[in-house]
Structure 1
């Protein structure tokens, strides 16, 4: 290290702290990438898995997320929730959710009926009637859609009649609105050619796929390396210039 000057304590401390922070952020990004890839694998495996009874799978320690299940119950047909989400086509539409009451249980299971395309006039599509009495449903037990910040607060409490429309489906808000507890995940029904609902259920990581997390991790690790390199460059001893050497010889 004879070619370098001893750095000051604050420069060394700042470099070490910054490098450690960048490395920690890079590792976190790698963990996020691995987590999402694990979810995608589990989701793909569940789509082809045999159907199981919901009562058995929902009581498992992990909640049986992404399990393929069959459940019996009765729709609360007068308590529909519409997720205003025009991603499926250019004409808009809504994702329709309805609570399902199970036998002798206080908890309700929120069912994703599917996407109902709009007609391009900005009005809500016509909702078909739901069957009365007991129904048998089959689909994937999946996490609810992601939520975000909703301007104006809880949109559900501001509506006095159903169906209620929201841009984010917060299961906690839905539970409070219904006055009953909900299962932590919801049932995404299998596709049905006879249904007018579009049921293409996927894990939407398009905005932040695992590959992008790894790209960000590489950036953070690069920043950590850059911090160390900058410290070394700033404290590298400079060789005297020829003009300075000549001046010293003249003085002698």
Structure 2
């Protein structure tokens, strides 16, 4: 009776482990496919003629190449924990309203290094009217939302760990609705800081997700093989 109970517990634990590893493997495959789709959309958008920024912001969210004239709001969000060429830093965002549009959008003005002492660098905001072009794209992945999303570091300047759009609109006193997308500014425009239009600047490429998926599925197979071998050995002893 005790031996039968032990076998039942062992198989239950093995099945739970296999289910967990298969779930994690499937999640990694979904991440791989999602990022491949995003890269394909970006390639298609870059090969297309730009559409008006105001019209793009008023329409349904999608990745597209845009261009438009408008004005900046002299307030900024510095997104922390952003990598560029292996270095940690911040990414500078400012709200921008396209001429004739209703929705404000955060413009990615580029990357700056964060000093070793973690003292937030002084960043002069862009002001006035400008003609912008670039990619209207999804916001950077927020990850697990824990703790405060942002804190003030000066007049009209906020350091953020994720782009919390409702709070950004509230704290920066954005005078109108804000898009949940960001404008990845064209690197050729003489504004802001170091930047490019890479779609996965701060996260894993699709190939890495495939590698992790193979590892998780491999662990699931290993658990199954071990469980079958143990069962076989017990049956031989009996």
Shift of 1:48: 2.9
CA distance in 2, matches of 1:233, 1:75: 66
Residue of structure 2 in register with 1:124 after alignment: 121
CA distance in 2, matches of 1:172, 1:225: 45
CA RMSD, Structure 1 to Structure 2 (Å): 3.6
Gaps of 5+ in 1: 241-252
Residue of structure 2 in register with 1:19 after alignment: 18
Q: Deviations over 1:55-107 (max 9, x none)?
A: 3333444x122x0001232211x212333567447998653322112456553
Report if aligned partners of 1:94, 1:124 keep a CA contact under 8 Å in 2: no
CA distance in 2, matches of 1:89, 1:8: 52
User: Which of 127, 138, 150 in structure 2 is aligned with 1:143?
Assistant: 138
Alignment pair present for 1:183 and 2:179:
yes
Which deviates further from its counterpart, 78-87 or 89-98? 89-98
Larger Rg: 1
CA distance in 1, matches of 2:81, 2:202: 15
Q: Judging changes above 3 Å, is the alpha-carbon distance between structure 1 residues 200 and 120 closer, same or farther for their aligned structure 2 residues? A: farther
Normalised TM-score (structure 1) = 0.71
Q: State the SS of the aligned residue for 2:107.
A: strand
CA distance in 2, matches of 1:28, 1:84: 26
Residue of structure 2 in register with 1:238 after alignment: 236
CA distance in 2, matches of 1:13, 1:43: 45
Residue of structure 1 in register with 2:66 after alignment: 69
Normalised TM-score (structure 2) = 0.75
What count of residue pairs does the alignment treat as equivalent? Answer: 229
Q: Deviations over 1:119-178 (max 9, x none)?
A: 999672562753x3x43221110122333579873433x456123334544333312213
Matches within 5 A, 1:212-227: 212-227=208-223
CA distance in 2, matches of 1:79, 1:183: 16
Q: State the SS of the aligned residue for 1:202.
A: coil
CA distance in 2, matches of 1:238, 1:135: 79
CA distance in 2, matches of 1:11, 1:129: 63
Gaps of 5+ in 2: none
Report if aligned partners of 1:116, 1:196 keep a CA contact under 8 Å in 2: no
Which deviates further from its counterpart, 110-119 or 197-206? 110-119
Alignment pair present for 1:198 and 2:197:
no
Shift of 1:42: 1.7
Q: Judging changes above 3 Å, is the alpha-carbon distance between structure 1 residues 194 and 182 closer, same or farther for their aligned structure 2 residues? A: closer
Residue of structure 2 in register with 1:173 after alignment: 167
Shift of 1:27: 1.9
Report if aligned partners of 2:106, 2:183 keep a CA contact under 8 Å in 1: yes
Q: Deviations over 1:184-213 (max 9, x none)?
A: 101121122644632313223665322222
Report if aligned partners of 1:150, 1:167 keep a CA contact under 8 Å in 2: no
